[in-house]
Amino acid sequence: MKVNTDIGIKLENPFMLASGILDENGYTMERILNNGASSAVTKSIGMEERRGFDPPVIYHDENYVINAVGLSNPGIDNFGEEIKIALRSGKPVIGSIFGRDAEEFSLLARKMESYSVSAIELNLSCPHVKGYGMEVGSDPDLVSEIVSEVKSKVSIPVFSKLSPNTSDIVEEAKAAEKSDALVLINTIKAMKIDIYARKPVLSNVYGGLSGASIKPVGVRYVYEIKKELNKKIIGVGGIENVNDAIEYIMAGASAVQIGSAVYKYGIGIFNKLNNDLNEFFIKNNINDIEDIIGVALK
Amino acid sequence: MKHAYIIDNITEGKNVNTVVFSTDDEIKPGQFIMAWAPGINEIPLSFSYINKIKKITVKIYGEASEYIAHLKRGDYLYYSGPYGKPFTIVPGKKLLIGAGTGIAPLIPLIDDNTYGIISGKTADDIIFERYFNNRLKVVTDDGSYGMNGYVTTALKTLDLNEFDMLYVCGPEIMLKTVYDYIKNMDINAQFSLERSMKCGIGLCDSCSINGYQVCTDGPVFSIEQLKNMDEFGRTRLQYSGKRIYF
């Protein structure tokens, strides 16, 4: 039975840790990689140390999480040590980066490469910080320039994480076509008002919606993009169990990322997903993950 | 987001207040809530009383703690939680060791076989003596109240082998001082940690220590757990995520 997969880098299983979840401290990434995750995508790192927003930065309910952490990060020059700690696991680490323009993205990508990450994930889609993420990602010319520029500066694979907060994600995906893989989807711009306090809960007012409630949206984007472009896709958004993961894989994802579900199930979710995937393959006579990637499109 | 009706507000000392409210939440000693000051900030706070009536003791150090410390009867406390792993309660003789308002979350552990140490920089930092019936050592850095010295000054006056469990709460440097003092003594102890906390639900990695989240895997860690954590008392992440040394 073959559950290892290839997204431009080889992964021993399809379950990756998503960017922004438990991936700021090298020790945490190391622990998660030692407990069933095949790779970890780091928190998005920028040029300078950045404090991010004041709390509340997260609101959660049974079926969703809304966050506006605000791209807090220690800055690229301070992040090498964390990656070094995470790499003691022997598993691949993927460096997520955010910048204002192609030049910043290229510089960040080269620094990440020098820290021995296995691939770069371009955060072209954070929905809640001015001048970054979604504001960059919704300009197809800029996306195309960033991807080309970064591709020309590093020798490791480059993934583009795209935003569902756009009128035409196909256009966005086409602009990022030179990437080795597309990561779909980032969070969906959202907010929460407390009806007793009569105020928005998040200090930034707007945040990004994740968790179980966005899974059908994510599956649709993976399916739609896989149909339009024959690119490797990494699926992310609301995956809480193996059935969710298989749905994404059948829609066209070669691997999936797990994020918000960690708040419900803890980091033990990775070992559970691996066990449940094996069981699903046995019960359904599947020998190779390749046989089900994008099978719903056929 | 939950909300609870404030019943009372008690001034405990200089810049320290206890807000009293009622909820049906079942709270265990050592657990905490994320208390929201709407439009201002959100901070983790633990309980100093946990029956049907709940109490939270707040030291004012910023805008959010000031807002919460000044909530009065009729106001609402907005919060999420309770969160975190509580203290494990063992039978026998207990020693509670708290630095300043760090004594507050230990108060619910008090029974008739409990002894205490409260440390502080100065006399103003010492609260909650009244709960200990004189079974208490007080120590201040400047000697303005109780013994003159540090938490270890008070520890040295006790035979720690008499105690079945030590419960310790305060800034991490103080916890590390206690830990270093007892680590080779075969003494049972639990420590409640506080690190820069943002989400409270184990997602943001801000409060982590050696891969464990203080908000969900803690805040209470046993001495055995801490023996395997080389970040303890050595490094932590700042609010931005930058690693710093204590």
- Read off the pLDDT of residues B86-115 as tens digits, 9 standing for 90 and up: 999 999 999 999 999 999 999 999 999 999
Phi, psi of B7 (to 5 degrees): -95, -35
Q: What is the pLDDT of residues A271-284, one digit of tens each?
A: 999 999 999 999 99
| Whether the predicted pLDDT of B31 surpasses 90 | yes
- List all residues 6 or more positions away from B33 whose beta carbon is below 8 Å from its beta carbon: B44, B45, B46, B47, B56, B79, B80, B81, B82, B83
The pLDDT value recorded for residue B116 is 98
Q: Where are the beta strands (DSSP E) in chain A?
A: 5-6, 10-11, 15-17, 39-41, 58-60, 65-67, 93-97, 119-123, 158-161, 181-184, 188-191, 193-194, 199-200, 206-210, 232-236, 253-258
Longest dimension (CA), chain A: 54
Task: Measure A172 CA to nearest chain B CA, in Å.
Answer: 28
Q: By CA distance, what is A51's nearest residue in B?
A: B240
Q: How many CB atoms lie within 10 A of CB B7?
A: 15
- List all residues 6 or more positions away from B86 whose beta carbon is below 8 Å from its beta carbon: B28, B29, B30, B31, B220
Mean pLDDT of A159-172: 90
Mean pLDDT of A189-214: 96
A168 pLDDT band, cuts 50/70/90, is: confident
Does B213 contact A at CB distance below 8 Å? yes
Say whether B204 and A201 touch across the interface (CB within 8 A): no
**Domains observed in chain A:** 5-50+73-186+212-297 (3.20.20.70)
Q: What is the pLDDT of residues B188-246, one digit of tens each?
A: 999 999 999 999 999 999 999 999 999 999 999 999 999 999 999 999 999 999 999 99
- List all residues 6 or more positions away from A214 whose beta carbon is below 8 Å from its beta carbon: A64, A185, A187, A188, A237, A238
The pLDDT value recorded for residue A127 is 67
Q: What is the pLDDT of residues A228-267, one digit of tens each?
A: 998 999 999 999 999 999 999 999 999 999 999 999 999 9
Mean pLDDT of A194-210: 96
d(CA B224, CA B187): 10
d(CA B70, CA B75): 10
Which residue's structure tokens are 């059935």?
A243
Q: Where are the beta strands (DSSP E) in A226-284?
A: 232-236, 253-258
CB contacts < 8 A (A, B): 119
Say whether B237 and A24 touch across the interface (CB within 8 A): yes
The pLDDT value recorded for residue A138 is 78
Say whether B237 and A25 touch across the interface (CB within 8 A): yes
A166 pLDDT band, cuts 50/70/90, is: confident
Q: Is the pTM of this model over 0.90?
A: yes
Q: What is the pLDDT of residues A132-157, one digit of tens each?
A: 777 777 788 999 999 999 999 999 99
Q: Tell the burial category of B236 from Cβ atoms under 10 Å away from its Cβ (0-12, 13-18, 19+).
A: buried
| Cβ atoms of A25 and B208 closer than 8 Å | yes
Give catalytic status of residue A126 as yes or no: yes
**Domains observed in chain B:** 2-83 (2.40.30.10), 94-245 (3.40.50.80)
Name the β-bridge partners of A189: A208
Q: Nearest Cβ partner of B211 from A27, A51, A58?
A: A27
Does A266 contact B at CB distance below 8 Å? yes
Task: Measure A116 CA to nearest chain B CA, in Å.
Answer: 19
d(CA A153, CA A105): 10
Report the share of chain A in percent with pLDDT over 90. 91
Amino acid letter at B24? D
Q: Which two tokens stand for residue A89?
A: 């696991």
Angle at B12 between CA B11 and CA B14, to 5 degrees: 90
- List all residues 6 or more positions away from A276 whose beta carbon is below 8 Å from its beta carbon: A241, A242
Mean pLDDT of B3-27: 95
The pLDDT value recorded for residue A89 is 98
Mean pLDDT of A15-38: 97
Amino acid letter at A162? L
Q: Which residues of B touch A48 (CB under 8 A)?
A: none
Mean pLDDT of A185-209: 96
A169 pLDDT band, cuts 50/70/90, is: confident
d(CA B170, CA B172): 6
Task: Measure B87 CA to nearest chain A CA, in Å.
Answer: 20
- List all residues 6 or more positions away from B184 whose beta carbon is below 8 Å from its beta carbon: none
Task: Pick A127 or B61 by higher pLDDT.
Answer: B61
| Whether the predicted pLDDT of A218 surpasses 70 | yes
The pLDDT value recorded for residue A130 is 73
Longest dimension (CA), chain B: 51
Name the β-bridge partners of B209: B212
The pLDDT value recorded for residue B30 is 97
Closest-CA residue to B202 (of B190, B214, B193): B214
- List all residues 6 or more positions away from B222 whose beta carbon is below 8 Å from its beta carbon: B88, B188, B189, B190, B191
Averaged pLDDT of chain B: 96
Mean pLDDT of B116-145: 96
Q: Name the DSSP class of B231.
A: T
Count of CA atoms in the C-beta half-sphere (13 A) of B72 = 0
Report the share of chain A in percent with pLDDT over 70. 99
Integer distance in angstroms from the first to the last C-alpha of chain A? 22
